[in-house]
Chain A
């Protein structure tokens, strides 16, 4: 069994199983936790809990005006690499094939060259995020190994994917194998680090929104 066969076979199967197990473990563990009941009556004019939750989820997509100057770079840069990741993951034909293989879902692909260009921008943006994390005194203090691992395992698939597309550095089958292995590593780490925010951000913001909107606060 060569590297590509290993990547396409046992590695992907194992990574997929860990990803699904870990993600559902954490999600069900959080969602089934006992909730503290707020026995106080809601503030007059307070929205329904679901509207309060939705409002907070949406409002926190952009920083408040008073914080905008200080957070402008990280906000914009985060949007760049998040949208870039979405375009590269869901826009490239091979990725759609990969997703269709286990989900049955499919949609039209973007031109490969467009996705390649977006991938390059995404990679630059990810390195900019790392540079900020390494140079910002507070952010640097707050960062730990798990954060850098999350960054590395997000960046590696982008980097190896670009190299495979451009046929740079090694033979295509080797680069493709490394790309798939990097995705496998990403999937394995996903449920256990901060990458899980992809699922949890809605629930955490929503819970905050419910709590605060009950008191008439737009959080």
Chain B
């Protein structure tokens, strides 16, 4: 449960030096593209903050989001979870189970009424009364409604929670919807990605803790600090795009030379995320660096945008049948028009060749 003591006191007791704390705050501030002066403000804000109560709800998801966060290299799970926040409910990590776990959630809600943050991963099935995903006998929709009623803010992590993701992909058999459709006017932050970048999740929570307000968001409720630029603009393969050098297959010479993966369906130009700048696994690599195009996982409906390997400028549907029908119809119309013209021409010619009609003389 959240503690009344200040984070600064807790950290000092645990032997975290002020230097290390400032270094950490500086790192997080730079991750979020905040000005240098913000590092001090962030450190000060964090030191004066109390451990933030967090309830993490998991719905139609694959647990990849929490896996991503727990494997973040910095801040580590210990830094984030046990020093800065009080994770009062999380299926994959909590020791309690069954009714004890549910009671832990309710207790946190009571003790931190109006102050706790709800993190949600996974979409919510609405089809058939929401029976496709239940926890402790309750539908995801009911649990979400109950939990967010007294929450300070809701953070939807992962593309499933933020935009519906894979469960919502056509034909959406469970009637899955993103969290944004169910939170009403509660403050909402979307941190999409499949999975989302751990720095984005940790940085966003730390921003709330440090400054007591939500970070600046874009039109899809994503923190601009992490989703403000598209992959293409920050991609190290961009010079090859400009030079017109493209890999045509995943094992051709272009692929081996590290040329642009645009023709192999890379969605970097329309995908906003920090993969190309922050990278994964402690800055080791990111999908494009590993030889695979960006699949656009932090964008809405990325599963249904014509296929992961379909190049961006091409159409998303197979037009050959439609074009074939149009071609046949066009030739038929043209031939019909020409036939009518021929008939008119023949009629005119026949009329000209016919002897003039006999007109009665005035005497008759």
- Confirm or deny: B249 has a beta carbon within 8 angstroms of a beta carbon on chain A: no
- Confirm or deny: B345 has a beta carbon within 8 angstroms of a beta carbon on chain A: yes
Q: Spot the interface stretch: A10-18, A55-63, A192-200.
A: A10-18
Assess whether A32 is in contact with B305, with CB atoms less than 8 Å apart. no
CB distance from A61 to the nearest CB of B (A): 28
Assess whether B322 is in contact with A32, with CB atoms less than 8 Å apart. no
Assess whether B233 is in contact with A111, with CB atoms less than 8 Å apart. no
Assess whether A94 is in contact with B313, with CB atoms less than 8 Å apart. yes
Given A5-B305, A9-B317, is A25 in contact with B330 using a C-beta cutoff of 8 Å?
yes
Interface string of A1-35 (1 = CB under 8 A from B): 11011001110110011101111111111111110
- Confirm or deny: A172 has a beta carbon within 8 angstroms of a beta carbon on chain B: yes
CB distance from B280 to the nearest CB of A (A): 23
Q: Bound state CA distance, A9 and B166, in angstroms?
A: 20
**Interface positions of B from 247 to 276, Cβ below 8 Å from A:** 262-263, 269-270
- Confirm or deny: A167 has a beta carbon within 8 angstroms of a beta carbon on chain B: yes
Closest to B301 in A: A5
CB distance from B230 to the nearest CB of A (A): 6
Assess whether B338 is in contact with A98, with CB atoms less than 8 Å apart. no
Given A21-B333, A34-B342, is A94 in contact with B326 using a C-beta cutoff of 8 Å?
no
Interface string of B343-364 (1 = CB under 8 A from A): 0010000000000000000000
Given A20-B326, A28-B331, is A33 in contact with B341 using a C-beta cutoff of 8 Å?
yes
Q: Bound state CA distance, A112 and B260, in angstroms?
A: 12
Assess whether A21 is in contact with B312, with CB atoms less than 8 Å apart. no
Residues of B within 8 A of A34 (CB): 338, 341-342, 345
Assess whether B232 is in contact with A172, with CB atoms less than 8 Å apart. yes
Q: Bound state CA distance, A1 and B306, in angstroms?
A: 12
Residues of A within 8 A of B311 (CB): 94, 97, 101
Residues of B within 8 A of A94 (CB): 262, 311-313
Q: Bound state CA distance, A97 and B315, in angstroms?
A: 10
- Confirm or deny: B329 has a beta carbon within 8 angstroms of a beta carbon on chain A: yes
What number of residue pairs across chains A and B have CB atoms under 8 A from each other? 136
Closest to A106 in B: B248
- CB within 8 A of A20: which of B306, B314, B327, B335? B327
Assess whether B242 is in contact with A112, with CB atoms less than 8 Å apart. yes
Assess whether B270 is in contact with A24, with CB atoms less than 8 Å apart. no
Q: Bound state CA distance, A102 and B331, in angstroms?
A: 20
Residues of A within 8 A of B342 (CB): 33-34
Closest to A93 in B: B244
CB distance from B149 to the nearest CB of A (A): 31
Q: Bound state CA distance, A136 and B338, in angstroms?
A: 38
CB distance from A110 to the nearest CB of B (A): 6
Assess whether B330 is in contact with A24, with CB atoms less than 8 Å apart. yes
- Confirm or deny: B323 has a beta carbon within 8 angstroms of a beta carbon on chain A: yes
- Confirm or deny: B246 has a beta carbon within 8 angstroms of a beta carbon on chain A: yes
Assess whether B316 is in contact with A16, with CB atoms less than 8 Å apart. no
CB distance from B100 to the nearest CB of A (A): 44
Given A172-B230, A172-B269, is A24 in contact with B327 using a C-beta cutoff of 8 Å?
yes
- CB within 8 A of A102: which of B301, B304, B323, B329? B323
Q: Bound state CA distance, A180 and B342, in angstroms?
A: 40
- Confirm or deny: B337 has a beta carbon within 8 angstroms of a beta carbon on chain A: yes
Given A28-B331, A32-B335, is A21 in contact with B326 using a C-beta cutoff of 8 Å?
yes
CB distance from B263 to the nearest CB of A (A): 6
Given A26-B334, A34-B341, A101-B311, is A112 in contact with B317 using a C-beta cutoff of 8 Å?
no
Q: Bound state CA distance, A109 and B341, in angstroms?
A: 45
- Confirm or deny: B165 has a beta carbon within 8 angstroms of a beta carbon on chain A: no
- Confirm or deny: A95 has a beta carbon within 8 angstroms of a beta carbon on chain B: yes
Assess whether A32 is in contact with B338, with CB atoms less than 8 Å apart. yes
Closest to A167 in B: B233
Residues of A within 8 A of B323 (CB): 16-17, 20, 102
Q: Bound state CA distance, A176 and B271, in angstroms?
A: 13
CB distance from A7 to the nearest CB of B (A): 9
Residues of A within 8 A of B304 (CB): 5
Closest to B344 in A: A34
- Confirm or deny: A113 has a beta carbon within 8 angstroms of a beta carbon on chain B: yes
Q: Bound state CA distance, A28 and B327, in angstroms?
A: 11
Closest to B341 in A: A33
- Confirm or deny: B19 has a beta carbon within 8 angstroms of a beta carbon on chain A: no
The contact sample of 16 A-B pairs, CB cut-off 8 A, is: A8-B315, A13-B317, A23-B330, A25-B330, A28-B338, A29-B333, A31-B334, A31-B338, A32-B334, A32-B335, A32-B339, A94-B311, A98-B313, A112-B242, A172-B269, A180-B313
Given contacts A9-B315, A13-B319, A28-B335, 14 further A-B contacts (CB under 8 A): A9-B306, A9-B316, A16-B315, A24-B330, A24-B331, A25-B329, A25-B330, A28-B333, A34-B341, A93-B241, A102-B323, A112-B242, A172-B232, A172-B269
Q: List residues of B whose CB falls within 8 A of some A CB.
A: 230, 232-233, 241-244, 246, 262-263, 269-270, 300-301, 304-306, 311-317, 319-320, 322-323, 325-327, 329-331, 333-335, 337-339, 341-342, 345
Across the A-B interface, give the 7 residue pairs with the lowest CB-CB distance, nearest first: A28-B334, A24-B330, A32-B338, A29-B334, A94-B313, A101-B314, A21-B330
